[in-house]
């Protein structure tokens, strides 16, 4: 029989991590209410960041925090520090300089790419944790954004900031919209085996497909070269045509016979009716 059922572990937290009694909770709340001392309460109620200690961390500038809370991707200009060993499509935690968790994101660059590249998408948001407007709104204040706003006012860009006929070529060459860009391809040893494997698969597939085509060609060539085979096939086709013609003729004759029999039957019925009428009159 089952004597007890309890949850041993949930995520990072184990059964014996940060254990407190209900009396501790009550005492911590009483101390905070009376003395406004929250040290006891902070030992009882653990912060949210405890659950995210097993993720790789990316530190974000304060000017980019609120934009991320509104769902924006983390770009290179908003990157401050990052952990080592981050790979593409791995989950990471975006955090502030104070250690506050902003969001859980999916990395779009490796650590080596982050260190060398000067533009691009670092991570896209999976789940936002922080509330909006905790940090001030600071997007749209950079030099490129200011230049873009001035072009919109001058009519050299449309109201959505997209180029039109009056857009200068220098702006088109210098400005790139990374909001719809794909993550950069992997470089280094990790992509080499994948490329080799893809090449091997393609070559094996082509090698498997070519013999089938050759066999079909050989069969077709053999049948065309042999005169007997060609004659037999021609004879078979002529016999089939004759049979089809004969069957069509039979069907046509049957239809004609049926069409002739139908009026004859009608005439007989009419004659019978006339005879019956005459008999009735005579009677």
Report yes or no on whether pTM surpasses 0.95: no
Domain boundary among 132, 156, 174: 174
User: Do both 29 and 69 map to the same domain?
Assistant: no
pLDDT over 70 percentage in the chain = 74
Q: Taking residues 107-133, report their average pLDDT.
A: 93
pLDDT value at 17 more than 60: yes
pLDDT digits (tens, 9 = 90+) for 95-116: 999 999 999 999 999 999 999 9
CA pair distance 121, 231, nearest whole angstrom: 71
**Residue 237 CB coordination number (10 Å):** 10
Residue whose pair of structure tokens reads 């006012």 in the numeric block: 153
The two most distant CA atoms of the chain are separated, in Å, by: 134
Q: Where among 174, 208, 230 does a domain terminate? A: 174
Q: What is the pLDDT of residue 119?
A: 87
Residue 85 within any structural domain of the chain? yes
275 pLDDT above the threshold of 70: yes
| pLDDT confidence of residue 51 | 92
Quick one: pLDDT band at residue 144, thresholds 50, 70, 90? confident
The least confident of 181-185, 189-193, 247-251 is 189-193
- Round to whole Å and give the CA distance between 122 and 130: 19
- Asked if residue 21 has pLDDT above 90, the reply is yes
Classify residue 119: in a domain, yes or no: yes
- Amino acid 208: pLDDT: 43
CATH of the domain at 133: 2.30.130.10
Alpha carbon distance 163, 156 (integer Å)? 7
In terms of domains, do 160 and 74 share one?
yes
Q: Quick one: 119 and 16 in the same domain?
A: no
Would the pLDDT of 220 be above 50? no
Most confident of 103-112, 151-160, 220-229: 103-112
Half-sphere exposure of 91 (CA within 13 A, CB side): 9
- Whether 25 is covered by a domain: the verdict is yes
pLDDT in tens, 77-89: 999 999 999 999 9
Is the pLDDT confidence value at 35 over 80?
Answer: yes
Given a cut of 90, whether residue 242 has pLDDT beyond it is: no
Residues 167 and 56 in one domain: yes
Pick 281 or 214 by higher pLDDT: 281
- Give residue 262's pLDDT: 60
Tell me: the pLDDT tens digits for 185-218?
A: 555 444 444 444 444 444 444 444 444 444 444 4
Q: Would you place residue 172 in the very low, low, confident or very high pLDDT band (cuts 50, 70, 90)?
A: confident
Q: How many CB atoms lie within 10 A of CB 104?
A: 17
Render the burial of 151-171: b for 16+ CB within 10 Å, e for the rest.
Answer: beeeebbeeeeeeeeebeeee
Instruction: Answer yes or no: do 64 and 167 share one domain.
Output: yes
Domain count, the chain: 2
Q: Looking at the structure, do residues 106 and 56 belong to the same domain, yes or no?
A: yes
164/58 same-domain check: yes
Q: Is residue 199 part of a domain?
A: no
> Does residue 81 form part of some domain?
yes
Model confidence band, residue 176 (pLDDT cutoffs 50, 70, 90): low
Instruction: Give the mean pLDDT of 232-249.
Output: 75
* Same domain as 96, residue 41: no
Domain boundary among 156, 174, 192: 174
236 vs 148: which has the higher pLDDT? 148
- Residue 31 maps to a domain: yes
Average predicted confidence (pLDDT) for the chain: 79
In the predicted structure, residue 154 carries a pLDDT above the cut 80? yes
Range of the domain at 105: 50-174
Residues 23 and 99 in one domain: no
pLDDT value for 192: 45
Q: Is residue 180 part of a domain?
A: no
Q: Assess if residue 163 is contained within a domain.
A: yes
Q: What is the pLDDT of residue 257?
A: 67
As a whole-number percent, the residues of the chain with pLDDT over 90 amount to: 39
Examine the domain organization and report whether 56 and 168 are in the same domain: yes
- Residue 90: closest CA among 109, 115, 65, 69: 109
Q: Which residues contact 86 (CB under 8 A, 6 or more apart)?
A: 56, 58, 92, 107, 109, 110, 111, 114
């Amino acid at each position: 029989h089952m004597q007890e059922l309890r949850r041993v572990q949930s995520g990072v937290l184990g059964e014996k991590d940060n254990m407190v009694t209900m009396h501790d909770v009550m005492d911590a709340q009483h101390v905070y209410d009376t003395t406004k001392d929250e040290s006891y309460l902070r030992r009882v109620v653990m912060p949210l960041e405890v659950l995210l200690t097993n993720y790789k961390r990316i530190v974000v500038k304060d000017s980019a925090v609120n934009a991320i809370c509104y769902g924006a991707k983390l770009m290179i200009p908003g990157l401050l520090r990052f952990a080592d060993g981050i790979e593409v499509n791995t989950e990471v935690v975006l955090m502030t300089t104070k250690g506050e968790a902003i969001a859980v994101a999916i990395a779009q660059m490796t650590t080596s790419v982050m260190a060398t590249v000067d533009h691009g998408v670092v991570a896209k948001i999976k789940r936002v944790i922080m509330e909006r407007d905790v940090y001030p709104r600071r997007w749209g204040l950079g030099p490129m954004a200011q230049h873009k706003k001035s072009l919109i006012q001058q009519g050299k860009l449309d109201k959505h900031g997209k180029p039109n006929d009056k857009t200068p070529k220098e702006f088109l060459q210098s400005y790139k919209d990374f909001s719809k860009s794909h993550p950069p391809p992997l470089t280094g040893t990790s992509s080499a085996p994948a490329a080799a494997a893809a090449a091997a698969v393609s070559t094996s597939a082509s090698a498997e497909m070519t013999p089938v085509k050759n066999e079909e060609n050989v069969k077709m060539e053999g049948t065309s070269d042999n005169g007997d085979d060609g004659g037999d096939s021609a004879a078979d086709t002529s016999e089939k045509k004759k049979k089809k013609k004969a069957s069509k003729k039979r069907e046509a004759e049957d239809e004609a016979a049926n069409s002739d029999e139908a009026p004859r039957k009608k005439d007989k019925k009419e004659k019978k009716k006339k005879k019956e009428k005459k008999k009735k009159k005579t009677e």
